[in-house]
Amino acid sequence: MIDRSYLPFQSAREHRDRGMAKWMGFSLSEHTTSLGEDKNRVDLSSSLSKIEKLTLIGQLYASRLTGRFIIKEKNKKEQVVGQVEELSSKEIAVKATDGYKLLQIDNILDIVLESEFEDE
């Protein structure tokens, strides 16, 4: 409690500050908007390092296996299913059912062997 005994008016000495309650009307709309944005946020982080990505891609390429690639494209997650046809240290060419797709390795978020994905 703040000591206001030095003030000349009784109403000022007995005033009880409501603290943050007086500001709730100002922050409520911004807080609600922020919560809505958090709920709609898509996690675009990858749990794989670049070395891990290249290792998995190399295994898919050498074994001629079909993989499911989760990629980041325009702040959304996309899926590409296909076989790796060509690879370099920066990008890969994947033969999908609807044609060839060129994927940047930095944009790949996850790689799953297609037969593993079907078992789940």
How far apart are alpha carbons 109 and 117 in whole angstroms? 15
Q: What is the pTM of this model?
A: 0.63
Q: What is the largest CA-CA distance in the chain?
A: 88
Domain spans of the chain, in order of start: 10-39, 50-119
CATH code of the region 50-119: 2.30.30.100
- Per-residue pLDDT 10s for the chain (120 aa) are 678 888 888 888 887 777 666 665 555 666 777 777 766 677 777 788 989 999 999 999 999 999 999 999 888 889 999 999 998 889 999 999 899 999 999 999 999 998 754 544
Q: Sign of the C-alpha dihedral, residues 102, 107, 111, 117?
A: negative
